[in-house]
Structure formats: structure tokens, C-alpha cells
Amino acid sequence: MHTEVIVVAAGSGTRMGSRIKKQYLPLAGVPVLVRTLQVLASCPSVDRMVLVVSADDREYVDKHVKDHQISKVGAIVEGGRERQDSVRRGLGALLERTALVAVHDAARPLVTVAEVEAVLRAAEREGAATLGVAVKDTIKRVVNEQVTETLDRRELFAVHTPQAFTRPLLERAHRAAQQQGGISTDDASLVEWVGHPVRMVEGLYSNIKITTPDDLLIAEALWKRRGE
Ligand code: CTP
Ligand code: MG
């Protein structure tokens, strides 16, 4: 199955609060986005990548792709206001023959080849799959600073990317979300909304999303542990 990964990197990184957007901050000396792309490019099942970036960053990203000799980059397109809009723009740049699509956050450079391959295999088999990990903390619902509910931790997973889907299913889910005005921070939710089951593939706790300055410190330590 011809497989493409849409790498979303068009966010503004408000929670990181750095002058340089978090996807371009250095991780062990190399921009986070470049680290992410290097992992994805080395996955045997990934045929092509579509990068989604802000209009202002296109040239900068194009230069990095060339300087770091990253293979499999087929297109660099402009993102949208919400993550979901950026993914939709990415869908528009897939090749005709692409049958399987993964969506990955540029801000998750610590993903491994084995994780990517596992989620792709699951999606090929079942139509939709996401990486995730069992939550370690007890999770409570809080409304106006009052705890209203304690959720059963055994049923809870924190969701990671990549998430992978057969192409027609992901396109249908995005069309439906756009028509109904639904917004979500991940693609699996959109697929759930159209009534298709999503397989949870247990990944590694190390596949963190770089969101706040603390995450960058943790990512540096995790990267060092890899010995690269
Ligand atoms: N993203 C995107 N387009 C958007 C918003 C987010 O491509 N309009 C991407 C980000 O670049 C990131 C991924 O989606 O790689 C996950 O989003 P998040 O971690 O929320 O990043 P930001 O939106 O940039 O950060 P923040 O929410 O703190 O502003
Ligand atoms: Mg965001």
C-alpha cells in the first residue's frame, strides 16, 4: 500500500513561549522538525512525506530539508488556523495512488521506527489506529475548581502520534468535521465521530510531544539515552 505521512508543523507554539517556534528549536543541536523527519524517512513503510508549515517558514524548512539531505519529502504546503485545518491542507497534497495515510506531530521527534511501523500495520489491517500510552496519573474531571468525577484509570490512554488511517476513511472524517464545524486536536477523534473504530497501539512513554520548556529538557535527556 502506498503510504504517506503528513507531518504537521504549522503551529505557533504558544505554550512553549519561545521566540523561535518549538518545532525549530534545537534538540541535541538539530532542529526538532529535522529530527522528526529523519526518523520518519528511515521507516521502510513510509514512501513519501508531506510537510505542513506556516507560509513564512516554507523557505527555511525547504533549506533544512536540503541541508540535512532528508529523503522522501514530496511536498511542503501551507498550514491552517487549527491543527485540523493543517492536516486537511496536507491531505490535499497526497499523491493519487496513496492508500494509507499517517499524521504525525512535528513536535514528537522521539517517535521510533518500530512505533511508526506498528501503527501503520494496525491501520492497514483495521482502517484506523493511533499510538498511545496508559495514563500513569489518576485523572479527575474538574469544573470551576471543583472535582466532579474521578475517571477509571484502567480505561484511560494518553494519545500520541502518528495516527494512521486508510485514505478514504480519513478524507471522509475530515469532510464530515468540516461540514459540521467539529474541531478536534487529533485525527482519530474525527474518525470516531464518523463511527469507525480506532485501534489503540501501545507505544512508548518516551514519545512525548514537546509542548512546554520542561518537555524540551526531558526530550534532551531521552535523546541522549538513545545514544545518537
Ligand atoms: N499544528 C499545525 N497547525 C496548527 C496547529 C498545530 O500544524 N494550526 C501542529 C504543531 O506544529 C504541532 C502539532 O500540530 O507539531 C501539535 O500541536 P501543538 O502541540 O498544540 O502545537 P502548537 O499548536 O504549535 O502549540 P500551542 O498549542 O502551545 O500553541
Ligand atoms: Mg496547539
What does the domain layout of the chain look like in residue ranges?
Answer: 3-226
Q: Cα separation of 125 and 184, whole Å? A: 25
The alpha carbon of 11 and the centre of ligand 2 are apart by a number of angstroms equal to 6
Report residue 202: phi and psi, to 5°.
-70, 120
pLDDT average, residue stretch 3-7: 99
**Could you give the C-alpha distances from 112 to 2, 107, 128, 162, in angstroms and in order?**
20, 14, 19, 10
Report residue 112: phi and psi, to 5°.
-110, 160
DSSP 191: H
Q: Whose CA is nearest to atom 23 of ligand 1?
A: 11
Tell me the CB-side half-sphere exposure of residue 71, using CA atoms within 13 A. Answer: 7
Q: Whose CA is nearest to atom 6 of ligand 1?
A: 11
pLDDT at 227: 75
pTM of the model: 0.97
Please check whether residue 11 is in contact with residue 83, taking contact to mean a CB–CB distance below 8 angstroms.
Answer: yes
Q: What is the CATH number of domain 3-226?
A: 3.90.550.10
Report percent pLDDT > 90 for the chain.
Answer: 98
For ligand 1, mutation pick of 53, 57, 60, 83 (most atoms within 8 Å of CB): 83
The alpha carbon of 13 and the centre of ligand 1 are apart by a number of angstroms equal to 6
Q: Given a cut of 80, is residue 228 above it in pLDDT?
A: no
Q: Which atom of ligand 1 is nearest to the CA of 87?
A: 7
> Taking CB atoms and a 6 Å cutoff, what residues make up the pocket around ligand 1?
8-15, 23, 52, 79-83, 86, 105-107, 209, 211
Q: Identity (one letter) of the amino acid at 53?
A: V
Residues 193-214 as b or e (16 or more Cβ within 10 Å = b): eeebebbbbebeebbbbbbeee
pLDDT average, residue stretch 160-189: 97
The alpha carbon of 140 and the centre of ligand 1 are apart by a number of angstroms equal to 25
Please check whether residue 40 is in contact with residue 116, taking contact to mean a CB–CB distance below 8 angstroms.
Answer: yes
Written as nine digits, the cell of 225 is: 539515552
Alpha helices by DSSP H, 27-112: 32-41, 58-67, 83-91
pLDDT average, residue stretch 58-71: 97
pLDDT at 194: 97
Q: Cα separation of 8 and 54, whole Å? A: 10
Residues with Cβ within 8 Å of 42's Cβ and at least 6 positions away in sequence, in order, are 113
Q: Whose CA is nearest to atom 16 of ligand 1?
A: 105
Beta bridge partners, 105, equal 8
The alpha carbon of 73 and the centre of ligand 1 are apart by a number of angstroms equal to 20
